[in-house]
Amino acid sequence: MKLAHWLIAAAFLIALIQGPPCRAQTLAGSVTSSEEGAMEGVLVSAQKDGSPITITVVSDTSGHFRFPDGRLSAGHYALRIRATGYELAGPQGIDLGATSADVAIKLRKTADLAAQLTNTEWFMSMPGTAEQKRPLIECMSCHTFERIVRSTYDADAFVPVLKRMAQYANNSTSARVQSRVAARAVNDDAVHKLAAYLATINLSSGKTWNYQLQVLPRPKGRATHVVITEFEMPRKTIAPHDVRTDRDGNVWYSDFVENFLGELDPKTGALKEYPIPVSKPAFPVGTLDLEADADGNLWLALMFQTGLARFDMATKTFRIFPLPGDLNDDAMQQSMVMAGAAGVDGKVWTNDVARQSIMRLDLKTGAYERIDPFAFLGKGHMHAPYGMAADKQNNLYFMDFGGEAVGRVDAKNGAPTIFPTPTEKSRPRRTMLDDQGRLWFAEFAANKLAMFDIKTEAFKEWDVPTPHTYPYDVFRDKNGELWSGGMASDRVLRFDPQSGKSIEYLLPRPTNIRRVFVDNSTNPVTFWAGNNHGAEILRLEPLD
C-alpha cells in the first residue's frame, strides 16, 4: 500500500474508533409549574461549590433554558431561580460531569410574595400621592422598602428613627452603618410628615397590609436572550459602587464603605484590594466616584476622608492630594472627581458636598480652588453638584442633583453657566460625555434619561418605560444604545433613543446599582455594574 493511501486508511480507522466529535459540555433543561406549565422568563442560576461565580440564564417561551457551551466545568452546582410569585421546588442542585446534563426544574407558588417584591413594586403597591412617596427615593440608598413596610412602628415611633438615620453618612449600608461627625440639620416638620405616611403603609395597624401587592411581569422575548454572571465578594461589607474595566479586561471598583480600591479578575473571580491611606480615623471611610485619566490611571474622591487619590496603574501605588487645614473641617465631603482632561491645564475637578460647591485641584501646587456655581442665583434653593464630565478643553459639566439643571464651569476663568432641564425637580445624577459633544445623563427623580448637546445647548428627554425605576446613571454604547440601572427595579435597561424601543433585563437577585459601565470592545457589548448592597459585581452579556 502506498504511503498516502495508508495515511488515509489510518485516519478513517481513528475516526471510527473515536466516533462523532463531542459537543462542548453544558447544562440545559426546562422550567415548569403546576399553575402555568412551561414557564418563560424564569431566571435559572448555577453556582459551583466553592466558587465565587454564579452564572444565570433565562427560560424561553417554551420553558427551555441552556447555559453557554463550556461555561460550566465539572462539579456540583447549587441551583436557584427567580420568578416572582414562585419558589424552587427542586432540584436544589446538580452534579455536572464530563458530558452535558439536562434538568427538569419544578416551581411552586410562594407563601411570602412580599419577600420577593422589588422597591419599584413596593412603590407601585403602596397607596399615597407622588409627593408622599417622593422622600422614599432617599431610603433606597441604604436599605430596601421591605424593611419599612414590615415594621410595626406608629408615627410617633418613626420620628426618632428618621432623625437618627439622618445622621448616618451617605456611604452606609445595612452591613456597615457609619455616622457623620458633623451633625446634619433636620427639618422637623418634614420628619413628622414622613413618619405619619410611613405608619399608613406598614404593619402598625394589623398583621397584613391594607393594599394589594403588585408585581411586574416576567421577562419575555429578547429580555430572555442574556447571560448574567455574578462575582461574589469575599466579605459582605464590601460595597462596589463604581465599576469599570481596564485595558486588559480586569475590573476595578470603588468600595463605598471600606477604604480599598478593588481589582477583579473576571476569568477566575480572584480579587485584589489596594488599601487607601486613612487620614481621618474618626470619620466614615469609603469612596464613590472612580474615574480614569488620559493615561489610564484611576482617580478617587475620598468622601469624608477628604482629598483626592490617584492610583498609578504601573506601580500600583497611590498619591494623595490632601486638602489644606482651612478647608478640611468636620463637614467636608468630596464625592466626585474628573481628571479626564487634566493634561490640558493641569487641573482636576472635584466637589464640596457640604457647601454645594465645585472645587479644582492644581496638580503642580497641590492647591484647591473653590467655585460656587450657584452664587448668582441667590439663596433659598437646594443644590448639589454631582456627576461630572469634562470636554477637550477641560471645561466642566456637572449635574445639579439637588435641583434640575446641568451646570458648566469655564476652565479658563471659572465662570459658571446653569442650564435648567425641561422637567422640573428632575434631580439629574450621573453623566457621561460622548465624542460628539453630547452629555448623557439620568434624571433620577423624573424617571427619565436625557441628553444635553453642549454645542447647541439643547435638551432631549426620554421616559423610562417602567414607573418608579429612578435611574441612577446612563451609558451610551458604540451602537448608540443607552444602558441604565438603579436602586429600585432590579433591572438593567437597554434603550434605543432613535426608535424608542427598550429591553429590560431582570437580574438574579436584589441589586442596588449605582454607576454603570459598558465595555465596547466586545460584540455584543458587555454591561458591568456593582451590587452596592449585595457585595458582588455583575456582568450582563446580551445575546443579540
pLDDT (0 to 100) of residue 290: 98
Judgement on whether residues 185 and 285 belong to the same structural domain of the protein = no
Judgement on whether residues 308 and 411 belong to the same structural domain of the protein = yes
pLDDT at 15 over 70: no
Judgement on whether residues 20 and 165 belong to the same structural domain of the protein = no
pLDDT at 3 over 60: no
Q: Are 74 and 96 in contact (CB under 8 A)?
A: yes
The total of structural domains in the chain comes to: 3
Single-letter residue type at 147: R
pLDDT at 2 over 60: no
Ranges 16-20, 228-232, 255-259: which has the least confidence: 16-20
CATH number assigned to the domain comprising residue 80: 2.60.40.10
Query: Does residue 208 sit within a domain?
Result: no
Start-end of H helices in 294-354: 342-345
pLDDT at 391 over 60: yes
Residue 10: how many CB atoms within 10 A of its CB?
Answer: 10
For residue 437, CA distances in Å to 112, 344, 395, 475, 495 come to 49, 17, 12, 14, 20
Residues with Cβ within 8 Å of residue 104, at least 6 apart in sequence = 29, 30, 32
pLDDT (0 to 100) of residue 485: 98
pLDDT (0 to 100) of residue 7: 38
pLDDT in tens, 110-146: 999 999 999 999 999 999 999 999 999 999 999 999 9
Judgement on whether residues 402 and 416 belong to the same structural domain of the protein = yes
Three-class SS of 365-411: CCCEEEECCCHHHCCCCCCCEEEEEECCCCCEEEEECCCCEEEEECC
Give 82's pLDDT tier (boundaries 50, 70, 90). very high
pLDDT (0 to 100) of residue 1: 42
Query: Does residue 104 sit within a domain?
Result: yes
Judgement on whether residues 359 and 430 belong to the same structural domain of the protein = yes
Judgement on whether residues 374 and 359 belong to the same structural domain of the protein = yes
Q: CA-CA distance, 395 to 414, in Å (whole number)?
A: 9
Residue 165: how many CB atoms within 10 A of its CB?
Answer: 16
Query: Does residue 365 sit within a domain?
Result: yes
Q: Are 155 and 192 in contact (CB under 8 A)?
A: yes
Q: Which strand (E) or helix (H) includes residue 483?
A: strand 482-486
Bridge partners of residue 170, in order along the sequence: none
pLDDT in tens, 236-273: 999 999 999 999 999 999 999 999 999 999 999 999 99
Judgement on whether residues 17 and 136 belong to the same structural domain of the protein = no
Query: Does residue 441 sit within a domain?
Result: yes
pLDDT in tens, 272-318: 999 999 999 999 999 999 999 999 999 999 999 999 999 999 999 99
CATH number assigned to the domain comprising residue 371: 2.130.10.10
Averaged pLDDT score across all residues of the chain = 94
- Work out the end-to-end distance of the chain between its first and last CA atoms, rounded to an integer number of angstroms: 53
Q: CA-CA distance, 224 to 220, in Å (whole number)?
A: 6
Judgement on whether residues 105 and 125 belong to the same structural domain of the protein = no
Work out the average pLDDT over 160-168.
Answer: 97
pLDDT in tens, 326-336: 999 999 999 99
CA atoms within 13 A on the CB side of 99: 3
**Containing structural domain, residue 165:** 114-201
Which of these three, 42, 77, 110, is where a domain ends? 110
DSSP 192: H
Query: Does residue 284 sit within a domain?
Result: yes
Query: Does residue 216 sit within a domain?
Result: no
pLDDT (0 to 100) of residue 9: 41
CA atoms within 13 A on the CB side of 297: 19
pLDDT (0 to 100) of residue 24: 55
> Sheet harboring 491-495: ordered strands across?
471-476, 482-486, 491-495, 502-506
β-strands 337-338, 317-321 pairing:
unpaired
Judgement on whether residues 295 and 414 belong to the same structural domain of the protein = yes
pLDDT at 23 over 70: no
Q: Are 107 and 83 in contact (CB under 8 A)?
A: yes
Positions of E strands within 173-247: 226-232, 240-245
Single-letter residue type at 528: W
Residue 300: closest CA among 247, 344, 244, 343: 244
pLDDT at 544 over 70: yes
What pTM does this model have? Answer: 0.94
Query: Does residue 206 sit within a domain?
Result: no
Give 377's pLDDT tier (boundaries 50, 70, 90). confident
For residue 470 the three cell numbers come to: 429612578
Query: Does residue 209 sit within a domain?
Result: no
Judgement on whether residues 184 and 246 belong to the same structural domain of the protein = no
pLDDT (0 to 100) of residue 10: 41
372-380 long-range contacts (CB < 8 A, ≥24 apart) are 372/416, 373/398, 373/407, 373/409, 373/416, 373/418, 374/400, 374/416, 374/418, 376/416, 377/418
For residue 544, CA distances in Å to 43, 97, 224, 352, 497 come to 18, 29, 10, 42, 18
Judgement on whether residues 381 and 433 belong to the same structural domain of the protein = yes
pLDDT in tens, 425-454: 999 999 999 999 999 999 999 999 999 999
Q: Are 173 and 165 in contact (CB under 8 A)?
A: no
Residue 198: closest CA among 140, 141, 133: 133
Burial class (CB in 10 A: 0-12, 13-18, 19+), 104: exposed
Which of these three, 110, 135, 155, is where a domain ends? 110
Percent of the chain residues topping a pLDDT of 90: 93
Q: Is 439 helix (H, G, I), strand (E, B) or coil?
A: strand
- How many residues make up the chain in this entry? 544
pLDDT (0 to 100) of residue 18: 43
pLDDT in tens, 26-56: 999 999 999 999 999 999 999 999 999 999 9
Judgement on whether residues 428 and 361 belong to the same structural domain of the protein = yes
Ranges 5-14, 47-56, 229-238: which has the least confidence: 5-14
Start-end of H helices in 129-182: 130-133, 146-149, 155-165
